[in-house]
Amino acid sequence: MSPGDSGPPRPRAGGPDRAAALAQYRRRAGVYDLELALFEPLRRAAIAQLAPQAGETVLDVGCGTGLSLSALAGAVGAHGAVIGIEQSPEMIARARDRVAQQGWRQVTLLCAPVETAPLQGRADAALFHFTHDILCRPEAVAHVVAHLKPGARVVAAGLQWVRGVGFALNALVLPAALRSVTSLRGLGAPWRELERCLGALEVQPMGLGAVYLASGRVPEDC
C-alpha cells in the first residue's frame, strides 16, 4: 500500500460514489477479466436475451474491459455499431486494447460517466451487465433510456441478494458485491430504477437466486 492509500473503498449505505468507484476499478482492472470468468454463462444468457441483430446500434453501458464486445460486435456486424460507455480510464484502456487487437471498426468507446456520456442518436438495444452502481443512479438510467428508440430492447444482469431458503448464499454475494459496487443499496431488486423508466420487466433469478436477468423494452410512446 502506498503512502496516503487508505485501502479498498467501502461500500456506502447511501447511493453510489463516483470517486470510490474510480478507485475501486483502478485497483481491479488488472485482475478483472479473471475474476469475471465465473460469470460468463450469465453474460452469454444476457446477450442472448438482448438478441443484437446485424446493422443495429447497441449500447454496452459500463462496458468495463470490454468482455461483452466480442459477442456484441459479432452480432451487429460491420454495418452496425456498438457504443461502450465506461468512466474508469484503467478499465476502458483494456477495452481499447481489445478493440485495437480485433480491429472492430464498429465499436466506439466513450470514457465518461454514463449520466453525462456524449451519446448521439437513439440505439436499438442496451446492455447493463454487472453495473449495479449505474442502475442505482436515476440520472444515468434516464440518460441511457433517452438515447434508445421506442421499442428498444434493454437487458440487465448482475448480483442480487438471495431471498428465501437460499438466504445463506448471501455469504457469497456480499464479498462479490463488496468488490464490485460502492453502494449496496437496492441490491434486493437492482432492476427497480430501470423498471421505473420502462415499466414492468421480465426478471429471472439465476445461479440459485444470487444473480438475476431482467429484460424489457422502451415503451413505444416514449
Query: What residue ranges bind ligand SAM (CB under 6 A)?
Result: 21, 25, 36, 62-64, 67-68, 85-88, 91, 113-115, 129-131, 133-134, 140, 180
- Length of the chain as a residue count: 222
Minimum Å gap between C-beta 69 and ligand SAM is 10
Q: Which is nearer to ligand SAM, 52 or 64 (CB)?
A: 64
From CA 202, how far away is CA 42, in angstroms rounded?
16
In this complex, which beta carbon is closest to ligand SAM, that of residue 101 or of residue 200? 101
Tell me the closest approach of the beta carbon of residue 220 to ligand SAM, in angstroms.
Answer: 27
Contact predicate 85/117, CB 8 Å: yes
Q: Tell me if residue 7 falls in helix, strand or coil.
A: coil
State phi, psi for 153 to the nearest 5 degrees. Answer: -90, 140
Q: How far is the CB of 104 from ligand SAM (least distance, A)?
A: 16
Rounded to the nearest whole angstrom, what is the least distance from the CB of residue 74 to ligand SAM in the complex?
16
Nearer to ligand SAM, 93 or 189 (CB): 93
Q: Exposed/middle/buried for 172, CB within 10 Å: 0-12, 13-18, 19+?
A: middle
Beta bridge partners of 183: 12
Identity of the residue, 36 or 93, whose beta carbon is nearer to ligand SAM in the bound complex: 36
Residue nearest to ligand SAM (CB): 64
CB of 50 to ligand SAM, least distance (A): 12
Q: How far apart are CA 20 and CA 5, in angstroms?
A: 12
Residue whose CB is less far from ligand SAM, 113 or 216: 113
Beta-carbon-side half-sphere exposure of residue 159 (alpha carbons within 13 Å): 24
Phi, psi of 59, deg, nearest 5 = -95, 130
Rounded-to-integer distance, Cα 131 and Cα 152, Å: 19
Closer to ligand SAM by Cβ: residue 18 or 196? 18
- Nearest approach in angstroms of CB 172 to ligand SAM is 16
Instruction: Name the grid cell of 190.
Output: 437492482
